[in-house]
Amino acid sequence: MQSDLIVLSDLELVEKVKMGDRGSFSELVKRHQRSLLRLSSRFVRDLDFAQDVTQEAFIKAYQKINSFEGRSSFKSWLFQIGVNTAKNKLREMKRNTVDADEIHLAVSAKAESMLLHSALVNLLQTEVDRLPGKQKMALVLRVYDDLSFHEIAEIMECPYDTAKANYRHALLKLRQVFEQESDLKYWSAEVSGFITEITHRYIEVEG
C-alpha cells in the first residue's frame, strides 16, 4: 500500500525501486520535488524552465537508480543530478541572459524580516550575483537548502574543505560589502544582526 511507503526512509525506498517498485519512486518524488524545484529555480530564474529541469532530473535519477550506492543521502545525489541538468539545459538553450554558473539567491522570509529596508534587499541580491559561481552555489545550498558541507561537497563534486571554504569566502565578501556600504549606515544594526545570525548558524555549527 502507498501509505506503507511513508514510514520508509529514502534509502529503503531506493532499494524497493531497484527491485522494480515504481510506487516507491513516486514517494521519493513527493518528498523531494518541492526542494528540487526551488533549487532549479535559483539557477534558471524561470518557473516553467525550472519545472522542466526538475522533471528531467527525476527521470535521470530513475534511470540511474542502480548506480546509487547509498554513500551519500538520496537528496544530495538527486541535487547533484539537478544541478548538472540545469547547467546542461542552459548550455543547450544558449541563453545570453543567464550564465550556467549563475544562481539567483532569493531573500528568505526570515532574512526579509531582519532587513528592514529595500536597500538592504537590493544590495544583497546584487552582491550575491557578483560572487563567483562556486561561492554562490555553496551559499545557496547552505543557507537556503540547509544542507551540510558534506552534502554540498557531494553536489559540487569537490572536497569537503573546498565546499566550506567557498561558503566562508562568500559570506565574508557579503560582510565586507555591508560594512563598507555608506548608504546602509542607518540600518547597521539590522545588517549586523543578519550577518551574525547566518555566521553563527551556518559556519560555526556543522549540520
Residue 104 to residue 132: CA distance in whole angstroms:
12
Q: Rounded to two decimals, what is the model's pTM?
A: 0.67
Q: What is the mean pLDDT of the chain?
A: 76
CB 187 within 8 A of CB 120: yes
Domains of the chain from N-terminus onward:
2-93 (1.10.1740.10), 109-202 (1.10.10.10)
As given in the structure block, the three cell numbers for residue 149 are: 558541507
Average pLDDT over residues 159-182: 83
- pLDDT at site 65: 94
The answer to whether residue 194 scores a pLDDT higher than 70 is no
User: Predicted confidence band at 130 (pLDDT cuts at 50, 70, 90)?
Assistant: confident
